[in-house]
A and B are shown apart, each in its own frame.
Chain A
Amino acid sequence: MQRGYWIKSKPNYNTLSWRENTLGHMLIAQGEGGLALVKLLQQRCPVQPLKVLFSGEKYTDILNGFIPEGIDVFASDEEMLCELKSQLSECLMGTQFYVAGDEAFIWKVMDELAVYGVQERDVEKELCGTIARSVYCVHCKTIDKNVHHNIHLCSYCNRYLFVRDHFSRRLGAYMGVMVDAEVPGDIPARQEIYP
């Protein structure tokens, strides 16, 4: 493809920044996403109520220091997502959401928010840590996580897949298509491009 071509379904992320006019803010982060929260809170602590859900160890003391209400720390992403589900059912309209972490995490959170009609453009999202991808094998429908290479061996059907940029928010994964369907065995060089 000509230079400048990109697939428009590929998500874009930004650096977290405060949004005005809200009833309250909910910050949800994991791992290196904690640093994104630190950067955000170092700018200022907003007037409105703050709720922070964090799964990770590294930044908890700093974050606790910033936030008078304290933060909720979880031992794992799964535990945190479980608590998020229950909190969201009582959340009010006017709550602003901020998400930071790796891509798989971001879309798991977005999936919970989507249940309540919260749209992508209304959520601050910062990609932190690894840019490894989840890959959906379009042939056997298996989703493999933590893929760092442009060519990936499907863990179920053993086909070599080209990792496309076409992304499904619902699945939180990029499409993988058999790379040597036309000439079996003709597989391009495998490169680590999602470190």
Chain B
Amino acid sequence: MTIKFKQETFRDDYTFSNSPASIRRFPFPFDQDQYMYSVNIEPHTKGEPGSYVEFAIDIDEHYVAECEDKKIVLDQDPDRYIALPHMMDAQWDMVELVMESLSEDYPELFKLTKDGNNWHWINKPLAIDQTFVFGDQSTLPMEPFEYIGRQVQGDWVILDQRDNNLFADMGIVTTQADWSSAFDAGMSFQEWHGPVPHAHEMGIFDRALKFLLNMQYGSPVRRLNWTMTVNPRLDTSPENYPVWGPDNVSVTPVNVGEKVHLRVELQALFRLPRSNAIAFSIRCYLISLQDLVTYPRWAKRLHRVLKTLHPDLIEYKGLTNYHQMMIDYLAPMDDGVDIGLGTQPE
């Protein structure tokens, strides 16, 4: 399969855009007219060909541009990458997970050959050709997790399982929706989810934690999370809030369709074999409202979800300034007809 990789930016001049194919395969998260938090975990099994869940790790047309953006963020703020000393086994687990998945699922783009512990990795889109000894850090240009983390889209947080809990002891975080990995480093599952409204009282994190503690190697799971972003900006970290904050008040009824983007996180969780850690990938997909509404069913569904969204969630997700503008933009597209359950575009 060939992918035409785009040259685009997720900052400054924001030249990002989605091709029609990319729009169609977008991970639209709303299967009903109202949204509330739930333990919406499901097995991460092979999905429809061409869909964002066809493979364990999704590579799309934004791959090269996103890797470039990741590099910019890491150069500016190296603290976006952290790996505590006891996580070295997990670092190698990650190298294996990513290299094996990508080479198996995208053979025209990635190649992995092994001769015992002598591995040869080729990443064509990023023009990387690397031989190394699996398990020997000195044979790679940087730490194994950083090495492979820079070659895959999205954020990855690796959780050490101990004390009947999960701890964020390793991570590469450059596309987060307003949480600080430097601040949250070392926190437990319930702690880093501390600010989320309602979900704790609903027992969602208790149940999710118990489920994750029992996750097995070979049976990964996934779920979707969502928010909105003004401009297709990936790095919406609190660290850089002074940079992207002003965008939140720059939305007008005229530009709302173009500027406001639905931001969906595909979260996949994998048990890692040698370290027994859990790899938590947070893969971010962006789509402008004006692209989204080219599918009328999505326009209607999004309108209804936004209209009925709980005020605490509006506030927590940072939508306050332009929430009504989005509703006004979508309202004319909603004829009120029942569209049934499901996230499909048509």
User: Which A residues form the contact surface with B (CB < 8 A)?
Assistant: 1-2, 5, 7-10, 119, 136, 138-139, 141, 159, 164, 166-171, 175, 177-178, 181-184
Query: Do residues B194 and A7 form an inter-chain contact, with CB atoms below 8 A?
Result: yes
- Contact between A170 and B186, CB atoms less than 8 A apart: yes
Given contacts A2-B311, A168-B184, contact A141 B249 (CB under 8 A): no
| Partner among A138, A171, A183 whose Cβ is within 8 Å of the Cβ of B238 | A138
Write the chain A residue with the least CB distance to B191: A9
User: Is B208 an interface position by the 8 A CB rule?
Assistant: no
**What does DSSP make chain B's interface, helix, strand, loop or mixed?**
helix
What are 6 A-B residue pairs whose CB atoms fall within 8 Å in the complex? A7-B194, A119-B163, A166-B183, A169-B186, A169-B187, A182-B248
Contact code string B239-254 (vs A, CB < 8 Å = 1, else 0): 1011001101100000
- The 0/1 profile, CB within 8 Å of A marked 1, for residues 268-284 of chain B is 00000000000000000
Contact of B321 among A2, A169, A171, A182 (CB under 8 A): A182
Which chain A residue lies CB-closest to B250? A182
Give the complex CA separation of A94 and B241 in angstroms. Answer: 46
Please name all residues of chain B whose beta carbon is closer than 8 Å to the beta carbon of A10 when the two chains form the complex: 194
Set B180, B186, B191, B316: member contacting A138, Cβ < 8 A: B180
Residue of B nearest to A140 (CB): B239
Q: Report chain B residues within 8 Å CB of A181.
A: 241-242, 245-246
> Residues 189-201 of chain B: 1 if any A CB is under 8 Å from the residue's CB, otherwise 0?
0111111010010
B195–A7 CB distance below 8 A: yes
The answer to whether B194 and A141 touch across the interface, beta carbons within 8 angstroms, is no
User: Chain B: residues with CB nearer than 8 A to chain A?
Assistant: 79, 163, 180, 182-187, 190-195, 197, 200, 238-239, 241-242, 245-246, 248-249, 311-312, 315-316, 321
Q: Are B183 and A171 in contact (CB under 8 A)?
A: yes
**B186 contacts A178, C-beta separation under 8 Å:** no
Interface class of chain A by DSSP: loop
Contacts of B183 in A (CB 8 A): 136, 138, 166, 168, 171, 175
Which residues does chain B contribute within 8 Å of A171, judged by CB atoms? 183
Q: In the assembled complex, which residues on chain A have CB atoms less than 8 Å from the CB atom of B186?
A: 168-170
A175 touches B180 (CB 8 A): yes
Contact in complex: B195, A9 (CB < 8 Å): yes
Which residues of B sit under 8 angstroms from A182, Cβ to Cβ? 245-246, 248-249, 321
Q: Are A166 and B194 in contact (CB under 8 A)?
A: yes
Q: Contact: B79 with A141, CB < 8 Å?
A: yes
Known: A9-B187, A170-B185. A139 touches B239 (CB 8 A): yes
B83 to chain A, nearest CB (A): 15
> Nearest Cβ distance between residue A187 and chain B, in whole angstroms?
13
In the complex, how many angstroms separate the beta carbon of B1 from the nearest chain A beta carbon?
A: 41
Across the two chains, which residue of chain B brings its CB closest to A186? Answer: B249
B182, B242, B246: most-surrounded residue (chain A CB, <10 A): B242
Q: Contacts A9-B187, A170-B185, A182-B249: A139 and B241 contacting too (C-beta < 8 A)?
A: yes
Q: Tell me the minimal C-beta distance from A118 to chain B in angstroms.
A: 11
B164 to chain A, nearest CB (A): 11
Give A136 to B238 CA distance when docked, in angstroms: 12
Closest to B199 in A: A8
Bound: A178/B239 CA distance, A: 9
- Chain A residues near B190 (CB, 8 Å)? 8-9
Q: Which residue of A lies closest to B241 (CB)?
A: A181
Selected contact of B192 from candidates A1, A9, A141, A184, CB within 8 Å: A9
* Contact status B242-A8, CB under 8 Å: no
Residue of B nearest to A10 (CB): B194
Q: Complex formed: what's the CA distance from A8 to B200 in Å?
A: 8
Residue from B184, B242, B316 within 8 A of A139 (CB atoms): B242
Distance in Å from the Cβ of A2 to the closest Cβ of chain B? 5
Among A136, A169, A182, chain B packs the most CB atoms within 10 A around the CB of A182
A74 CB to nearest B CB, Å: 28
B185 touches A138 (CB 8 A): no
